[in-house]
Structure 1
Amino acid sequence: MMNIRSAPAVRYEMVDGTALIAIDNPPVNASSHDVRTALLEAVRQAEADEAVDAIAIFGAGRTFIAGADIREFGKPPKDPILPDVNNAIEACAKPVIAILHGTALGGGFEVALAAHARIALPGTQVGLPEVTLGVLPGAGGTQRAPRLIGIAKALEIITEGRRIGAEEALEMGLIDRIAEGEPRDVALEMAEEVRQGNLGTRRTGELQVSPDDAAIADVSERLKAKQAHLFSPHKAVEAVAGCTGPLAEGLAQERALFRQCIESPQRAGLIHAFFAERAVAKIPEAGATPRPVAGAGVIGGGTMGSGIATAMLLAGLNVTLVERDEEALARGRASVEGNLAQAVKRGKLDEAKRAAILAERLKATTDLGALAEADLIVEAVFEDLEVKTELFARLDAIAREGAVLATNTSYLDVDRIAAATSRPQDVVGLHFFSPAHVMKLIEVVVGDKTAAEVVATGFALAKRLRKIAVRAGVCDGFIGNRILAHYRKSVDYLMMDGATPQQIDPALTGFGFAMGPFAVSDLAGLDIGWATRKRHAAMRPAEERYIPIADRICEEGWFGRKTGKGFYVYPQGGKPEPNPEVARIIDEERAKAGILPRNFEDDEIVDRYMTAMIAEAARVLEDGIAQRPIDIDAVFLFGYGFPRFRGGPLHYADTLGAKELVARIERYAEEDAHYWQVPPLLARMAREGTRFADMNEG
């Protein structure tokens, strides 16, 4: 063995004719400028060395190249760029083998595609997820993947951006073999296999790919139907469509389309969303030590409680589910069993593990005393302050010392709930979003006396559950529901003044929301909003304009999907249709208020909705309920279906500018001065020319 060369981020050694090139750029071996430079130099040096007859590239540590270096996002590219590195790898006169383990994603997998053979260790995941960041594979992925697996399969993995396990990748033809062992050992073994003629090598770019106009047309139509508002997936289809000619021409077209994606506003929004998921972990309590949680209790087996219990069970926790009586307990346990059955159906769990979870790790009881030894207890009972405070007073006498007591309230005062105990430092809000075993967001609501380690425990639990935690202060509705309560009124005003639910919902799905606000209300249950409005009635200012249309719908017993009727009618097995009775109620309420309906363009509907959302978000920020604008963006991206490509409401606000937003609010205030008020923070930003993004720094 002879060491030839070492460079930052890359180790090079020669063993019996094999040049071993190890990417060593922890933690994930990202393809940084240092990695690209050293990798290119290493390949060229190995190619020039007469003693080398095989080259193997592998990753040190826990992964191959997991993707691009996020520190370089948004900065001008520095030579050598990854396409040039990959082209040099493919053009190398000596066989180049890529040994993959951990993850090989995006540019990392494009390095592997440029190699002459690909070997994966068991458990490896590969993929080309660039569309999730608003770009397309720009280092040969759209040209080399189709040459290995055909246009149809390449379009599938590129436009969906999904990860692929080693077994599926082998079956598809993306990799050549799965081998056991340490990456370096496998590299040496595979180099010998090449010498012996037992492992074939070839240049991917020299393979011929058959035209597949039907696949291109099918994917194009699907994207137009489901993702018409997105940019990069459509450009990715264009790039793949150019793979049937010479490689150089296809690569040139791919690069041109990649640059178009780079210049798209959607890329900036998707990159912001990517960073938001990571930024929310930066909290004042980050240095505190979380309390250990092995066993948890969940009180309430309804939709929320059963979902929370399911999420905990799937994360490996022992769970005690408590309900008030045997009938409710049976329903709660059945809900958990159904959720786990769905996990099996989706391939997230096998049947044996589901059976073991139910037999060994789920306990269902009507005895609150069974929670005496739980490390963490989550209350998920009816949204009523008196009910919750009474329950927490009982828990105070039952729970062991040091147990974390969490409330899943959506709106209520966490400090008042904590005050019902002798240990308010142990009380925290953990606001899950429904369905709790599916939705990614948890608002960790920090009370005046919540201990730092309890906050840290909430964040550690979210990580264990594979969810995203956002720190929130105490107010009615916290971050998300406080903002929602405000901007939701804007569509009620639009409905009263002339727009219809059937116009408003499509206008907002056209903006990028997965569902419109009336469809969402039906899905969540109209009775939930009704209960909140009744709770707020005594506090409602006399001058506030109140729209009773939703109340009247609820008075009919129509609560949305759960009753088969709400703003829409839900025929069994059919598509939702407008509820004709709602139009009658709207007409009656307009007549009572003396309103002559007017026409609204879709653009104005979107502008009013978004301006109201941004205005209340600015107030939440100014009040200190959210730490930074990016935390608000994360809440809406991961809890409220905000279109990811727009980056979140405050990222979107920066694309409009504070002056434009202030001008809109002042214009709308001529109609309703009570509702449309300029937040002081927004007014100051307009004067100073600052952006919300400036407040995220540090």
Structure 2
Amino acid sequence: MTNATLYQIHGRTAVIILNQPPVNSLGLALRTHLLADLKRAEADESVDAIVLASSGKLFCGGADISEFSSDDALAEPNLPQVCDALEASPKLVVAAVNGLALGGGCELTLACDYRIALPAAKLGLPEVNLGILPGAGGTQRLPRIGGVQLALEMITSGRPLGAAAMLDAGVIDNLYQDGGNFIQAAVDFAQELVAQHKPKRSCFEMSVDTSNISSEIFNEFRAAIARRSRGYYAPERCIQAVEAACELPLAEGLKREHQLFMECLDTPQARAQQHLFFAERGVAKIPGINPKTTATREIRKVAVIGSGTMGGGIAMNFINVGIPTQILDLNGEALERGLGVIRKNYEYTLKKGKLSQAQLDERMALLSGTTDYADIADVDLVIEAVFEKMEIKKQVFKTLDATCKPGAILATNTSTLDVDEIAAETSRPQDVLGLHFFSPANVMRLLEIVRANKTAPDALLTTVQLAQRIKKVPVVSGVCWGFIGNRATDSYLRESMSLILEGASPAQIDKVHTEFGMPMGLPSMVDLAGIDVGILTREDRKAFTTDLDPSHFAILHKLYAKQRYGQKTGRGLYIYEGRDKQEDPEVLELAAEAAKEFGVTRRSPEQISDQEILERTIYPIINEGARILEEGIALRASDIDIVLAYGFGFPIFRGGPMQYADEIGLERVLTALNKYRDTLDKGELWFKPAPLLERLVKEGKTFAQYQA
């Protein structure tokens, strides 16, 4: 068994090396060994300095997530005790930060007297992303060492900062760039400090320097992050913790930090954010496929069919990680235009300082275009991203089947169409699957991987691992209309449009959705996406979706007939002047007209409560999720949450629809569905509870507890 730490003596310096690969997570074993080694060094009279280092490529990734559900997480010595011991050591302690130091790993470095780092090192406190705050002194030590502004920005955003920036802030004391033995450099630095009689720098003896900050800094900062922190619990407590650092001595500040930490821990937001954290790490586990025994296919070259916005975005994912990629478009002008758009995207990133000219040139060198299918005969993966029409996609796959080499994976980027039907057009259905990227494809992290009936296990596993390589979160879905995401959210659109027909205003629906935590309400999203796009893309859905009932989208069809397509035409469900919008009385008149045509009973907006809007638009997502889960379309309830949170804007702080339902109680959801089932004209059709939901309520279980 690997020793949790390594203990070495270099002259008069003791070196304690964190040795828990791959990330040196701060589990009980590592904490225990670290503290024991610290006491050993303190007791050795021949030692006058201590270096804390790492045996791996990073310094420390923070808490051990495997302990989150066990008593070991808070067992003694806990992390605050270890950090306090480092700070209280009578001997000078230097942290040698060779790579990432995140969360508790960063807090370890802050408890040391001095810090030396490699240029590639980064320090961060990402706890806010788990709905909590740093609980081992980070909120108290960072403002003392690096200042209030730095602490506020790092702790409330969770984003790490590089060693150069941390050097400028005074958190890093020495940036080692000579390329030699880093641990020896840290030892030399420690001995240099001792020789110069440099003092220990305990935060117990420091106060926060507030001489150069505004008395309103905290209120101003609250206002600055109000939009991105809306609905979350932890950011405000992070600010309060930094405030405490300015007002209290360290010992009392640490007590306040612990109090705020515990407040965050027992909140729906923390449970939701941690649920998604673990869900993301579980999506790649596919029952029945062992990654250790299933050989994957090598992907050395990729082709994308279609040079539009989606095709170009998909291609960027691959050239970003060094995979040569060809874009094929039979229209030469469109192809050149698409390649130009990709270059402009990179040039924009270059201007923002997030990409060097050398990187831009390297990526563009990996990209090529063609109008001839013969040129992509040797690719290992081809992704079709043409217009969402079955007949067009079928023709593309017939051509790919005749052109591509044996063993090449043939993928469709369809968002709704039957992948089995597409695969049947080929002689190799085992090589066919869906890779549903979300727009913009080079930005959105979610990738739905659609496993067709005959998709080979090695093809599926290859694309799952490739998705992780291109920094996507892969969720495997079975074949059905809309897969997981579009199928689950179809009712969201249906009920929103139905409520407008019944008398609710678009603004009222938007308000409910944004207060719930959606980035924008459904009516605003429809206008942004384009009413014309929505109408045209629904043509292939009629046999599967709510287009079976034309009343649901009557208002959109009326707007479409008037060429009111949304933001791009200046009028849709709203009237637009630039980015500003205002309500349009004509929409309500059109809704009343459509209601009369379809025999829909109208009510005044005052008679339609916010609670009804919430229940009718959000709860059916949960209900459809239950069906998706029971049918085996999704492997886990948490996979549905990942898709809805990462691809459709379901608020992260609610954890996705299934976690949200578990949090508020499945019985509450079931009761509401049954109410609308009984009271609405077509309630039996649209609000009939899923059998799984009814069964879980009867058994007193949650979606998280469900196993097929």
TM-score exceeds 0.5: yes
Aligned to 2:417: 412
Aligned to 1:556: 562
Q: 1:127-180, CA deviations, whole angstroms, 9 ceiling, x for partnerless residues?
A: 111111101111111111111121122111111111111111111222111114
Aligned to 1:3: none
User: Which structure 2 residues correspond to residues 61-460 of structure 1 after superposition, within 5 A?
Assistant: 61-76=56-71, 77-179=74-176, 180-197=179-196, 201-211=200-210, 212=213, 213-244=215-246, 245-284=248-287, 285-287=289-291, 288-358=294-364, 360-460=365-465
Q: Name which of 658, 661, 668 aligns with 2:669.
A: 661
Q: Name which of 57, 61, 69 aligns with 2:52.
A: 57
Q: CA deviation at 1:387?
A: 0.5
Aligned to 1:26: 21
Distance 2:549 2:433 in 1: 35
Distance 1:557 1:303, change over 3 A: farther
* Residue type at the aligned position of 1:81: N
- Preserved contact between residue 117 and residue 200 of structure 1 (Cα < 8 Å): no
Aligned to 2:641: 633
- Preserved contact between residue 87 and residue 114 of structure 1 (Cα < 8 Å): yes
Q: CA deviation at 1:7?
A: 9.1
Aligned to 2:610: 602
Q: Name which of 541, 558, 574 aligns with 1:536.
A: 541
Q: CA deviation at 1:182?
A: 4.0
* Residue type at the aligned position of 2:574: Y
- Preserved contact between residue 544 and residue 675 of structure 1 (Cα < 8 Å): no
The percentage of counterpart residues that share the same residue type is 42
Q: CA deviation at 1:201?
A: 4.6
Distance 1:531 1:416, change over 3 A: same
Distance 1:590 1:374 in 2: 53
Distance 2:699 2:380 in 1: 49
Q: CA deviation at 1:30?
A: 0.6
Q: CA deviation at 1:615?
A: 0.1
Distance 2:194 2:704 in 1: 55
* Residue type at the aligned position of 1:506: K
- Preserved contact between residue 311 and residue 385 of structure 2 (Cα < 8 Å): yes
Q: CA deviation at 1:545?
A: 5.4
Distance 1:513 1:535 in 2: 27
Aligned partner of residue 242 in structure 1, secondary structure: helix
Distance 2:630 2:64 in 1: 33
Aligned partner of residue 216 in structure 2, secondary structure: helix
Distance 2:619 2:642 in 1: 18
Distance 1:264 1:145, change over 3 A: same
Distance 2:166 2:115 in 1: 10
Distance 2:408 2:549 in 1: 46
* Residue type at the aligned position of 1:356: E
Aligned partner of residue 552 in structure 2, secondary structure: coil
* Residue type at the aligned position of 1:172: A
- Preserved contact between residue 59 and residue 183 of structure 1 (Cα < 8 Å): no
Aligned partner of residue 14 in structure 2, secondary structure: strand
Give the unaligned 5+ runs of structure 2: none
Q: CA deviation at 1:515?
A: 1.6
Distance 1:214 1:696 in 2: 52
* Residue type at the aligned position of 2:698: R
Q: CA deviation at 1:34?
A: 1.4
* Residue type at the aligned position of 2:113: H
Distance 1:400 1:409 in 2: 22
Aligned to 1:38: 33
Give yes or no for the alignment of 1:9 onto 2:15.
no
Aligned partner of residue 252 in structure 2, secondary structure: helix
Distance 1:265 1:182 in 2: 47
Q: Name which of 459, 464, 488 aligns with 1:483.
A: 488
Aligned partner of residue 255 in structure 1, secondary structure: helix
Q: CA deviation at 1:296?
A: 0.9
Aligned partner of residue 405 in structure 1, secondary structure: strand
Distance 1:650 1:194, change over 3 A: same
Give yes or no for the alignment of 1:695 onto 2:692.
no
Q: Name which of 498, 503, 518 aligns with 1:513.
A: 518
- Preserved contact between residue 636 and residue 642 of structure 1 (Cα < 8 Å): yes
- Preserved contact between residue 100 and residue 183 of structure 1 (Cα < 8 Å): no
Distance 1:679 1:182, change over 3 A: farther
Q: CA deviation at 1:608?
A: 2.2
- Preserved contact between residue 503 and residue 591 of structure 2 (Cα < 8 Å): no
- Preserved contact between residue 419 and residue 450 of structure 2 (Cα < 8 Å): yes
* Residue type at the aligned position of 1:132: N
Q: 1:184-222, CA deviations, whole angstroms, 9 ceiling, x for partnerless residues?
A: 323322222223329775223422323343221111222
Select between 116-125 and 482-491 the one with higher mean Cα deviation: 482-491
* Residue type at the aligned position of 1:560: G
Q: CA deviation at 1:15?
A: 2.5
* Residue type at the aligned position of 2:267: S
Distance 1:314 1:584 in 2: 50
Distance 1:205 1:580 in 2: 64
Select between 363-372 and 434-443 the one with higher mean Cα deviation: 363-372
- Preserved contact between residue 116 and residue 203 of structure 1 (Cα < 8 Å): yes
Aligned to 2:574: 568
Distance 2:534 2:29 in 1: 54
Aligned partner of residue 476 in structure 2, secondary structure: strand
Distance 1:649 1:390 in 2: 37
Q: 1:250-287, CA deviations, whole angstroms, 9 ceiling, x for partnerless residues?
A: 11111111110111121111110101111001013342
Give the unaligned 5+ runs of structure 1: 1-5
Q: 1:69-119, CA deviations, whole angstroms, 9 ceiling, x for partnerless residues?
A: 101224442112211111111111110001112210111100100100011
Q: 1:505-543, CA deviations, whole angstroms, 9 ceiling, x for partnerless residues?
A: 121111111121122223333233312433333566867
Q: 1:18-59, CA deviations, whole angstroms, 9 ceiling, x for partnerless residues?
A: 111111112100111111122122212212221110011111
Q: CA deviation at 1:565?
A: 3.5
- Preserved contact between residue 315 and residue 327 of structure 2 (Cα < 8 Å): yes
Distance 1:470 1:35 in 2: 33
Distance 1:482 1:7 in 2: 48
- Preserved contact between residue 230 and residue 645 of structure 1 (Cα < 8 Å): yes
Distance 2:68 2:511 in 1: 34
- Preserved contact between residue 307 and residue 339 of structure 1 (Cα < 8 Å): no
Distance 1:10 1:526, change over 3 A: same
Select between 223-232 and 541-550 the one with higher mean Cα deviation: 541-550
Number of matched pairs: 690
- Preserved contact between residue 144 and residue 208 of structure 2 (Cα < 8 Å): yes
- Preserved contact between residue 143 and residue 205 of structure 1 (Cα < 8 Å): no
Distance 1:580 1:140 in 2: 56
Aligned partner of residue 52 in structure 1, secondary structure: coil
TM-score by length of 1: 0.95
Q: CA deviation at 1:236?
A: 0.7
User: Which structure 2 residues correspond to residues 575-586 of structure 1 after superposition, within 5 A?
Assistant: 575-586=580-591
Distance 2:25 2:36 in 1: 17
* Residue type at the aligned position of 2:62: G
* Residue type at the aligned position of 1:27: P
Distance 1:462 1:198 in 2: 53
Aligned to 1:524: 529
* Residue type at the aligned position of 2:13: T
* Residue type at the aligned position of 2:283: V
TM-score by length of 2: 0.94
